[in-house]
């Protein structure tokens, strides 16, 4: 029991971290909470389903194209909705909140109420050390998710893009003086945030099929992870995701399956009460 609970906690934790990565990035750089994060995730799931199933595209190509389209869509949303709200972070929250409801209902009209699932990459399950059986698609999602997370970390730590993102998040005006076009960077990073939501979407859709409203719980856990880990801290995002995954699964294993998600919130409240800025957060001046 403990073994599978921990294993599942880690897998789900990585999945949570992956889903929260985009939110964390956008909060960190732009101080904008993208409430419609879950809907971008779902959109990518739908696209990868459409391309792979209806158009019969190669799986990898379908996924890449889906992420690319959501990225462009993210750029558009930044341009039309988010950009005018810079400096008023609460207003962007209101706008993206409304956007999320609009998208949910648009999906319902376009894709219908039934769940959609792109084909799995692998089939079957693996026997883990003779302890328990574990779905292969989940293991694949774990690997893919870890790759995306490592990729994002590498990008942030090692490339110019990461450097200017970090600089901009610390001092936007100064970055501008150093020659960074922060307007374009914002657009790009919002797009990237959406693309990360999309990456999570295409990786997870074969495990958890997408429905018009399935984005809500995704976004909700992403927010919990981000607040838990500390606003805008990527490291916090990973630790937050893993903490949440483990707490929920161990709680479900030993306490109550019905209250699984409440355990996560309880941890969140405890952390906030003790460290108001989250595990890795900095208190804003």
Partner 1 sequence: WSSDTIKVGVVGPRTGGAAATGKAFEEGIQLATDYVNAKGGVLNKKLEIVFEDTAGAPDKAASGFERLATRDKVVMVLGESHSSAALAEIEVANRLGIPFMVVEAWADPITAKNYRYVFRAGPSNSGVVNDTIAKWVAAEQFKKVAIVAENTDWGLGIAELTEKAMDKAGVPYLTVTTERKSQDHYMELTKLKAFDPDAVLAFVYGTGLHYFVAQAGEVGLTPKAIILDGAGPPSLWPDFWPNVGEYGDLECFVSSMHEKVELTELATQFRKSYVEAFGKAPTDYKSRSMFDAILIAADAINRAGSVDAEKLVEALEKTDLTVTRGKVTFGTEKGGPEYHHWMPPMLVIQWQNKEQVVLFPAEGATGKLKR
Partner 2 sequence: MLEVSNIDVYRGETQVLWDISLEVAAGERVAILGSNGAGKSSLMGAIAGILPPAGGKINFKGETISGRKAYEVTRFGIALVPEGRRVYKEMSVRENLEMGGYVSRKQRRIDQGMEQVFALFPVLRDRRHQAGGTLSGGEQQMLAIGRALMSRPELLLIDELSLGLAPRITKEIYQAISGLELETTVLLVEQNVEMALSHSQRAYIMESGRITRSGRSETLMADDDIRRAYLGL
Partner 3 sequence: MSQGASILKSNRKNFLYGAGLAAFAVLPWMLGVYNQHVLIVCLFYTMMAASWNLIAGYTGQISFGHAAFAGIGAYVSGILAVKAGLNPWVGVAAGTVAAAFFGLLVGLLCLRMGGIYLSLTTLGFSEILHIIINNEYEITRGTMGLQVPGLTTSYSKISYFYIFLVGAVITLTIVYKLVHSNVGLNFRAVQNDERAASALGVDVVRTRLLAFTVSSALAGMAGALFGHYMMLITPHIPSLDQQFLVLSMTVIGGLGSFVGPVIGAFCLEILSEYIRAWGEYHVLVFGLVALVVARFAPKGLVGIYKAWRGKKRPETA
Is residue 6 a contact point for partner 3 (CB under 8 A)? no
| Count of H-run helices and E-run strands, the chain | 11, 2
Q: Which of residues 143-162 bind partner 2 (CB under 8 A)?
A: 160
Is residue 177 within the footprint of partner 2 (CB under 8 A)? yes
Residue of the chain from 260, 265, 275, 277 that contacts partner 1 (CB under 8 A): 260
Out of 87, 124, 173, 258, the only residue in the binding site for partner 2 (CB under 8 A) is 173
Q: Is the Cβ–Cβ distance between 208 and 15 less than 8 Å? A: no
Distance CA 235, CA 282 (A): 13
**For partner 1, which residue of 55, 101, 106, 108 counts as binding (CB under 8 A)?**
108
Distance CA 134, CA 132 (A): 7
Q: Give the total residue count for the chain.
A: 285
Closest CB to partner 3 among 47 and 223?
Answer: 223
Task: Please say whether the beta carbons of 272 and 225 come within 8 A.
Answer: no
Stretch that binds partner 1, among 67-75, 113-121, 156-164, 271-279 (CB under 8 A): 113-121
DSSP secondary structure of 35-54: TTHHHHHHHHHHHHHIIIII
CA distances for 148 relative to 3, 87, 249, 257, 273, angstroms: 26, 30, 23, 30, 32
Q: Which does 160 bind (CB under 5 to 8 A by kind): partner 2, partner 1, partner 3, none?
A: partner 2
Residues 18-77 that bind partner 1 (CB under 8 A): 53
Residues 200-219 that bind partner 1 (CB under 8 A): 208-209, 211, 213-214, 217
Neighbour count for residue 145 (Cβ, 10 Å): 25
Name which position in 31, 50, 76, 176 contacts partner 2 (CB under 8 A).
176
> Residue with structure tokens 């990360």?
196
- Considering only residues 1, 58, 60, 84, which one is a binding residue for partner 3 as defined by CB under 8 A? 84
How many C-beta atoms lie closer than 10 Å to residue 236's C-beta?
26
| Residue (145 or 229) nearer to partner 2, CB | 229
Judge contact between 260 and 248, C-beta under 8 A: yes
- Asked if 280 interacts with partner 3 (CB under 8 A), we say no
Residue with tokens 């999906």: 107
Q: Any residues with CB less than 8 A from the CB of 159 and at least 6 apart, and which? A: none
Residues at the contact surface with partner 3, assessed by CB under 8 A: 27, 31, 33, 80-81, 84, 89-91, 93-95, 97-99, 101-102, 105-106, 108-109, 216, 220, 223-224, 226-227, 231, 258-259, 261-262, 265, 268-269, 272-273, 276-277
Residues at the contact surface with partner 2, assessed by CB under 8 A: 160, 163-164, 166-167, 170-171, 173-183
């Amino acid at each position: 029991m403990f073994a599978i609970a921990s294993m599942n906690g880690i897998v789900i934790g990585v999945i949570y971290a992956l889903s929260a990565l985009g939110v964390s990035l956008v909060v960190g750089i732009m101080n904008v909470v993208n409430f419609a994060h879950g809907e971008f995730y779902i959109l990518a799931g739908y696209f990868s389903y459409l391309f792979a199933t209806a158009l019969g595209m190669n799986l990898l190509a379908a996924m890449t194209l889906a992420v690319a389209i959501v990225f462009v869509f993210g750029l558009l949303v930044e341009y039309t909705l988010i950009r005018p709200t810079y400096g008023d972070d609460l207003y962007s929250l209101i706008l993206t909140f409304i956007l999320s409801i609009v998208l949910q209902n648009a999906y319902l009209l376009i894709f219908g109420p039934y769940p959609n699932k792109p084909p799995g990459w692998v089939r079957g399950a693996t026997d883990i050390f003779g302890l328990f059986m574990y779905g292969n698609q989940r293991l694949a999602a774990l690997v893919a998710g870890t790759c995306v997370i490592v990729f994002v970390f590498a990008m942030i730590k090692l490339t110019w893009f990461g450097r200017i993102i970090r600089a901009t998040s610390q001092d936007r005006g100064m970055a501008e003086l150093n020659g960074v076009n922060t307007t374009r960077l914002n657009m790009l990073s919002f797009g990237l945030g959406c693309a990360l939501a999309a990456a999570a979407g295409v990786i997870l859709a074969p495990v958890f099929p997408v429905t018009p409203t399935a984005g809500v719980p995704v976004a909700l856990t992403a927010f919990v992870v981000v607040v838990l880990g500390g606003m805008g801290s990527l490291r916090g995002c990973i630790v937050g995701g893993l903490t949440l995954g483990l707490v929920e699964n161990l709680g479900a294993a030993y306490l109550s399956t019905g209250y699984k998600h409440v355990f996560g919130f309880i941890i969140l409240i405890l952390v906030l009460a003790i460290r108001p800025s989250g595990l890795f957060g900095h208190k804003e001046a």
